[in-house]
Amino acid sequence: MSEVNEFAGVHDEGVGRGNGIRYSSSAAVEAVGDWKFQVTEFAKGAAEMSVEFGKGVRDVVNQTVLREDSVIVKKLKGPCHKILGKLRFLNDYLPEDRDPVHAWTVIVCVWILALAVLLVNITQTTTPLVRKMKVHPASASIILLPDGRRLAYQEQGVPADQARYSMIVPHSFLWSRLSGIPGVKGALLEEFGIRLVTYDLPGFGESDPDPKRNLESSALDMLHLAYAVNVREKFWVLGYSDGSKHAWAALHYIPDRIAGAIMVAPMVNPYEPRLTKEESRRIWGKWTVKKKLMYFLARKFPRLLPYFYRRSFLSGNLDQIDTWLSVSLGKRDRAVVEDRAFQDFWLRNVEESVRQSNARPFVEEAVLQVSNWGFSIGDLNGQSKYKGEGILAWLKSLYTPADKRLSGFLGPIHIWQGDEDRVVPPSMSDYVQRDLPDAILHKLPYEGHFSYLYFCSECHRHIFTTVFGHPQGPLTANESRAPVVDEAGENAEAICSDAARNEERLSTLAQHDEFR
């Protein structure tokens, strides 16, 4: 029996290979139990110390604050006794064996906890739900550009053969061809005989991206679009906010095809070297720190912009417009953007703008805004020196003031600018008027960035009346269209033939897709 017990004991033992110490499994169990005992005793000791600390704090308060000669007791003792005396009748509702002080303390704590829970629930129910963006079915009309890209556009107003005035509108950042003139009524366009053509910039909406995109290519896209949709006469261009850079580009690169320009809160390059220090200070002073940072990144580190874009409007969730544009809005603009009609309009445009889920077009827009445009707005205002022969004529020209005239673009330029605009500061329009004196600046007191153009029929009528005069309706069959003044007639014919060929290619592609 002893040998059997010894054999069993051998199997009950274990060998510690790490330090050569021999121990039994029972010893390990005792060690674990000892560890649990120590933790338990430590918790008990911490609880006892907390209780004792609380008692000490209570004693200190009783000896200092709640003394009979304490200022707090002298001032609050009388009112407290009166209030407690009036509420003493509530003690009748307590059980006879309950101490009123302890009972009412518990009741007050329970009420505080219940109110806190109710407040949390109310806050959660009143918080608006996050609106999700969705991709809508394709609805745009498409043309093929000479380089094979697809350009999406939309038409409003009167038909091409009845248009008294044709207007092309490039959209601004985070918008699409659906923006156009926000809220403009078809009856108003028909009353003035206006044909309104809006299009998606490259990479936005349903338009293909342009790997060689710049402001000159933007102006040429506008020119090709005009010929493709049968705009044979000169057309008007409308630029709003940072979308106005494409309108400025049209005035510079294709001035012979532009009848006039309508600018609403036009944006200029905030790094424009012709800006004075005072103008630059007033422009940058209107912007938030985040907006300044985004402009700095676009100019110096554009590769970082996709990170911010994917966390905001490319995330699939809709947020407030001032958050995404990093701006602070005035009272009038705030009232406009909080309206339900604007919210629905804003959601639909953003959904269309980001339907390709590509950050590159937005980065290109931001970089174009703050980089060298290839021209300056003041370049439209040429200078004509005194012309003559001989040394005397040359010397006279040095002391003769330059004769300023619009040499690049001869048509009218109307600018509407709100004095309370915090997105495009009024200092930008002041700079444009200083650098381009023949431009007509219409200042709008108390108006902001959105309050004048968005869903304001009176404002739309005011703009059309100022630019076009009294409404004359669409063209009739007896009225003749004004001839096109185009010095580059051969180029226009070539573009028209290219547009016709592109339409044939587009129809062929469509038939091929249907066959597939």
Is residue 163 within 8 A of residue 199, CB to CB? The reply is no
pLDDT at 394: 46
Is residue 427 within 8 A of residue 274, CB to CB? The reply is no
pLDDT at 401: 52
pLDDT tens digits, one per residue of 378-424: 888 754 444 444 555 545 555 555 444 444 688 999 999 999 999 99
pLDDT at 183: 93
Residue 95 neighbours by CB distance under 10 Å: 6
Report the predicted TM-score, pTM, of the whole model to 2 decimal places. Answer: 0.67
Amino acid found at 513? D
pLDDT at 213: 94
CA distance linking residue 283 with residue 106, whole number of Å: 60
Pairing state between β 440-444 and 413-418:
parallel
- All residue ranges of the chain with pLDDT < 50 are 1-24, 123-129, 383-389, 394, 402-407, 483-496, 499-500, 505-506, 508-516
pLDDT at 14: 43
% of residues, the chain, pLDDT over 70 = 73
CA distance linking residue 245 with residue 215, whole number of Å: 8
DSSP state of 468: H
CA distances from 270 to 243, 330, 431 (A): 14, 21, 11
CA 109 centroid distance within chain: 46
pLDDT at 337: 87
pLDDT tens digits, one per residue of 55-71: 877 777 777 776 777 77
Closest by CA to 166, choosing from 144, 145, 201, 197, is 197
Is residue 182 within 8 A of residue 453, CB to CB? The reply is yes
pLDDT at 512: 42
Backbone φ and ψ of 444, nearest 5°? -120, 100
DSSP per position, 84-102: HHHTGGGGGGS-TTS-HHH
The residue behind tokens 């029972």 is: 26
CA distance linking residue 122 with residue 195, whole number of Å: 51
% of residues, the chain, pLDDT over 90 = 48
CA distances from 203 to 118, 193, 207, 355, 373 (A): 48, 31, 6, 9, 20
Q: Check residue 241 and give left, alpha or beta (phi > 0: left; psi -120 to 50: alpha).
A: left
Rounded to 5°, angle at Cα 514 from 513 and 516 = 65
CA distance linking residue 24 with residue 187, whole number of Å: 98
Closest by CA to 187, choosing from 515, 460, 483, is 460
Q: Over the chain, what is the mean pLDDT?
A: 80
pLDDT at 269: 95
Which own/partner pairs from 348-352 qualify as long-range (CB within 8 Å, at least 24 positions apart)?
348/136, 348/178, 349/174, 349/175, 349/176, 349/178, 349/179, 350/133, 350/174, 350/313, 350/318, 351/133, 351/134, 351/135, 351/136, 352/136, 352/176, 352/177, 352/178, 352/200, 352/204, 352/205
CA distance linking residue 455 with residue 452, whole number of Å: 8
pLDDT at 511: 47
pLDDT tens digits, one per residue of 310-353: 988 888 776 666 566 666 788 898 899 888 899 889 889 999 99
DSSP per position, 155-223: EEES-GGG-SEEEEEE--TT--TTTSSTT--HHHHHHHTEEEEEEPPTTSTTSPP-TT--HHHHHHHHH
CA distance linking residue 426 with residue 345, whole number of Å: 26
